[in-house]
């Protein structure tokens, strides 16, 4: 990783809730509200913003884990902000706390773990699973 990444760095993304983010299984909508699956996706995307400027050309981030508590709803047309902040760093991992808010209400919280690996190592791991 390039130098400069530090604990406390933050990123925020904003999204508008759309029907493709509804809670659904096998294509059937269960609730016309922001799904936990979509929340996890956006939490990972916000956390990824923290590493992108620091990846070397030969490196890539790969998910290592997500902890999430989905605390409240958001409905179609509502805006949601996802705040990520680095809380732990090692030579190969970045752990971020992520909060999801609808206005001032906290509707989700958790952690995202990302590992930073050489692209060739990731490719080798993926190739070995195809056997």
Over the chain, what is the mean pLDDT? 96
Tell me: the pLDDT tens digits for 73-99?
999 999 999 999 999 999 889 999 999
Q: Range of 38's domain?
A: 10-129
In this structure, is residue 1 part of a structural domain? no
Cβ neighbours of residue 101 closer than 8 Å, sequence gap 6 or more: 80, 81, 82, 83, 107
Give the chain's domain count: 1
Tell me: the pLDDT tens digits for 8-51?
999 999 999 999 999 999 989 999 999 999 999 999 999 999 99
In this structure, is residue 2 part of a structural domain? no
User: Which CATH number belongs to the domain containing residue 84 in this structure?
Assistant: 3.10.129.10
């Amino acid at each position: 990783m390039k130098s400069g990444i530090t604990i406390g760095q933050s990123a925020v993304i904003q999204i508008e809730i759309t029907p493709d983010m509804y809670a659904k299984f096998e294509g059937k909508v269960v609730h016309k509200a922001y799904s936990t699956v979509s929340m996890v996706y956006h939490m990972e995307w916000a956390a990824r913003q923290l590493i992108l400027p620091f990846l070397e050309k030969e490196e890539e981030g790969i998910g290592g884990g997500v902890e999430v508590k989905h605390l409240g709803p958001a409905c179609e047309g509502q805006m949601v902000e996802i705040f990520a902040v680095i809380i732990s760093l090692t030579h190969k991992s970045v752990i971020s706390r992520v909060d999801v808010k609808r206005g001032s209400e906290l509707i989700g919280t958790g952690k995202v773990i990302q590992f930073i690996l050489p692209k060739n190592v990731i490719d080798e791991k993926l190739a070995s699973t195809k056997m």
